[in-house]
Structure 1
Amino acid sequence: MATRVFIDGAAGTTGLEIRDRLHGRSEFELIVLDDAQRKSEAARKDALHAADIAILCLPDEAAKESVRLAEGSGTRIIDASSAHRVAEGWTYGFPELIGHEKIANAQFVSNPGCYPTGFLGLVAPLVRAGLVPADWHYTVNAVSGYSGGGKALIERFEAVGAPAFRAYGFDMAHKHLPEMKTHAGLKHGVIFAPSVVPAYRGMVVEVPLHLGAMPGDPTADDLRAALSEFYRGSAVVSVGDDSAVGELLLDRNAPPSDAMELFVFGNAGGWHARLVARLDNLGKGASGAAIQNLNIMCGLPETTGLAL
């Protein structure tokens, strides 16, 4: 019997990409609401209760409302918003870090944010291994395609006279900050410098490190080896051969990708390192991660339907 799936917020960017990835998959039966029904609380509640798994592609407050509407149904939920990423009772949907079994057995799964996926993919394994300290003051420099900002930002970047670059988050209160600190196991919050460029999709997340000031004298080679071992066998996350990389590019017309590449660049003296993640903000950073979690929750091969 097919698993019944309801995408609450299916008309948004993330929801549309999830539907594309589910197209033609006989393991799932989509519950679809028309435009009028999507605005009806009663219709949404019925759909949430009828589904085996609901995927929420909504703003935070609307996602919380959907969880409330689903109460008493037993429906399993994947929330692609940031509403529940550090909430009690929710499993963080980063299987490579959290463990596949936890996600497989969870009722409530919170999809990671796109920027945190890159940061955590780089830093969390190294903190766990004791190679970089949990009490360090980390900074994150990141650039993303404009699709991550939703319809309003998409329209802004596709309009005549669109900006060539957008930097934001200057209030130091970005919603991704608690997620980064919590799931990396850090003592301090990070300084996060996000920006947007005129490419539809894709992102590069960088964490610069002054290794020479860290205890234990870690080297770039140590960090790269640890990440390679941590992700060994993963079909989604890979650690690149940094010696062959002269530059990292984001293609304006890149196709969807649900993979993530990690790099560790070090200087000749070993004092400095640049940890870099390259991923698709709509792939492993959003819709692809939701499909990966859906597969795991349904006992299917985790890469089914993914673009890798």
Structure 2
Amino acid sequence: MVARVFIDGEAGTTGLQIRERLAMRADLELISIPEESRKDPGARAEYLNAADIAILCLPDAAAKESVALIENDTTRVIDASSAHRVAEGWDYGFAEMNTDQGDIIAASMRVTNPGCWPQGLIAAVRPLVAADLLPADFALNFHGISGYSGGGKSMIADYESHGNGANMFAPYALGFNHKHLPEMTEYALIDKAPLFTPSVGNFYKGMLTVVPLNLSGLARVPAGSEIHAALADHYASVSGGFVEVAPLEGLKRSDSLDPQVLNETNRLRLHVFANDARAQAAILAIYDNLGKGASGAAVQNLNLMLGVDQTTSLTA
């Protein structure tokens, strides 16, 4: 059976990437609204209700409007906005988060795609909390750098207009109230939001996130090898996933620690570094903010919902 897929917001950065990944699929029929009707609620409602799966690549308010326009009980939804990340009735679309998350997504009517930044934190922290290596009330810091495509069309245009003169390292969200904080807190299994300091670099896509861990205040300090083993064991137990854990190495620097090294793939790679004598560790995550961080994750969720191999249309 050929599934009808409607990308609401297909002209945006994420929508274009999803459409490109799905264009050659024989098991899908991509239905596309005429450009002149994209802002017409009546026309959008027609396409949304005709779809087997609707993928929303819209601002939050528009995504909520699209969901409200669906009047049947058959159209399934993948929302790539942040509108429903912690909303009741929506399943979180990070398939590697739990051993059964892929099955939950496969059976779901409403899937909320993860944010790019939260995936780095959740991938690094959730297995450690679940394994009792970190307490849920641990005071977390989280920082990193992402390509400017994560800011959407306006940021892309701004960076590309400045060329080499654009800011090479631009911290933002310095009011410490980023909209991804509720999502990070809920799915990382932590009691309070991390201190989150994101930044944008002068490159199109790719990202590297860091969770530094000052472990000295814990009643029991886990060794770096325990942290690494907990992460490796968790992701080895997830069938068909894209998250991998690099070998535990005593590196001080490496060319592999490059935010762009996994671009054009759907992979997310974790690196663990530790100094047991100082009771300190850091977990780095590297992935494509437009791949696993956005369009790749949406296609992976679509594949799960259709019951096809997760790697279909994706580069592992």
Could you state the TM-score of these two structures normalised by the residue count of structure 2? Answer: 0.94
CA contact (8 A) 1:143 1:195 kept: yes
From 268, 287, 291, the equivalent of 1:283 is 291
Q: Which residue of 2 aligns with 1:269?
A: 277
Equivalent pairs counted in the alignment come to 307
Measured in 1, the distance between the counterparts of 2:61 and 2:144 equals 26
Q: For 1:201-220, what aligned pairs fall within 5 Å after superposition?
A: 201-220=205-224
- Residue 162 of structure 1 and its aligned partner are, at CA, apart by 2.1
Cα distance change on mapping 1:303 and 1:254 into 2, 3 Å: closer
- Give the match for residue 76 of structure 2: 76
Which secondary structure state, in structure 1, belongs to the residue aligned with residue 212 of structure 2?
strand
Counterpart-to-counterpart distance in 1, 2:156 and 2:169: 13
After superposition, the C-alpha distances for 1:6-46 in whole angstroms (9 at most, x for unaligned) are: 00000000001101110211111001112102122111100
- Aligned residue type for 1:258: N
The alpha carbon displacement at 1:123 in A equals 0.3
Q: Which runs of 5+ in 1 are unaligned?
A: none
**Residue aligning to 1:249:** 258
* 2:263 pairs with 1:259: no
On the 8 A contact 1:104/1:297 being kept in 2, the answer is yes
Gap change, CA 1:235 and 1:187, over 3 Å in 2 = closer
Cα distance between partner residues in 2 of 1:53 and 1:244: 46
The CA distance in 2 between the partners of 1:134 and 1:77, in whole Å, is 31
Gaps of 5+ in 2: none
SS in 2 for 1:179: helix
Shift of 1:257: 1.5
Instruction: Name the aligned partner's letter for residue 44 of structure 1.
Output: R
- Whether the 8 Å CA contact 1:211–1:219 is kept in 2: the answer is no
Equivalent residues of 1:199, 1:250 under 8 A apart = no
Q: TM-score, normalized by length of structure 1?
A: 0.96
Structure 1 match to 2:40: 40
1:132-171 alignment runs, 5 A limit:
132-160=134-162, 161-171=165-175
Distance in 1 (CA, whole Å) between partners of 2:114 and 2:153 is: 20
Does 2:205 match 1:197? Answer: no
Matched residue SS, 2:309: coil
* Alpha-carbon distance change, 221 to 244 in structure 1, aligned in 2, over 3 angstroms: closer
Counterpart AA for 1:42: G
In structure 2, C-alpha distance between the alignment counterparts of 1:244 and 1:284, rounded to whole Å:
27
SS at match of 1:269: helix
Q: Percent identity?
A: 49
Q: How far apart are residue 101 of structure 1 and its match?
A: 1.1
Task: Write the distance in 1 (CA, Å) between the matches of 2:17 and 2:245.
Answer: 26
